[in-house]
Structure 1
């Protein structure tokens, strides 16, 4: 039995050319990070977001879902929205303590996830209630 539970099926909320979205929720487990990467990569392919940009987006999803699994409480929610030329990732859990950048030492084996997200994404932040960490990537317009 897979620990992933779809909250809502992947749905298009507007014509496919202008807006794309998917939501999924995971039972917190080590497998949820791998599943989040796989699902995100599949949707990016459907949306023709490929190459280095797609890999950076998948890495950001991996880091945010890992943080929610390791430091959050309750189910881990992932929403990816792609209206026009921006793609927004939102990862939610029930822990009201907001994610924050923290310095990590050379010997630390973890603690660099948000630093990676901050470097790769155009912008990132945390919701007012502390439960959602998000980031935004710019997706260049495709030339015909």
Structure 2
């Protein structure tokens, strides 16, 4: 009996440039109604696409933090903007991974200070903590229509 070794493809090393740029349409929410199941499921789809692209680019060390940040930023855009379209872009530049979520609806993505009994409102505080832990920064632009953050690419991940 002969056996053949199976080679698994290695992730390519990252380089500066776009990792992904995607957008998806949603139905604006009415009042306090939850988003449509189809719209809410798109957050998970975007996370899976982003995870695959990050792995392919050799950025596995940031994967868990990026997935949590994307969940928060995409969900905020879905729940609080009233938009019809959300876009996500991820790029590597000058040793940083940049994440940008655009909903096209000016607003104010600001960190809330909530008490221990609050059931929501901690998302951007979590984003801020993860970004700081990864040597980056975060903020909003275009009057709040865009929320972005940067994470330093760990030295062992750099070429």
Is 1:87–1:137's contact at 8 Å kept on the other side of the alignment?
yes
Q: How does 1:1-144 map to 2 (within 5 A)?
A: 17-28=15-26, 29-51=39-61, 53-72=62-81, 73-121=83-131, 122-141=136-155, 142=157
| Aligned length, in residue pairs | 128
Is 2:99–2:149's contact at 8 Å kept on the other side of the alignment?
yes
Which stretches in structure 2 are left out of the alignment for 5+ residues? 1-13, 27-38
Provide the rounded CA distance (Å) in 2 between the counterparts of 1:128 and 1:143: 31
Q: Deviations over 1:106-136 (max 9, x none)?
A: 2222211101110111110000322000000
Is 1:33–1:65's contact at 8 Å kept on the other side of the alignment?
yes
Q: Tell me the secondary structure at the aligned position of residue 26 of structure 1.
A: strand
Is 2:47–2:70's contact at 8 Å kept on the other side of the alignment?
yes
Is 1:19–1:84's contact at 8 Å kept on the other side of the alignment?
no
User: TM-score, structure 2 length as denominator?
Assistant: 0.74
Higher-helix-fraction structure: 2
Is 1:81–1:88's contact at 8 Å kept on the other side of the alignment?
yes
Provide the rounded CA distance (Å) in 2 between the counterparts of 1:136 and 1:93: 18
Provide the rounded CA distance (Å) in 2 between the counterparts of 1:38 and 1:126: 24
Provide the rounded CA distance (Å) in 2 between the counterparts of 1:48 and 1:34: 21
Q: Greater RCO between the two (CA within 8 Å, min separation 6)? A: 2
Provide the rounded CA distance (Å) in 2 between the counterparts of 1:77 and 1:20: 14
User: TM-score, structure 1 length as denominator?
Assistant: 0.81
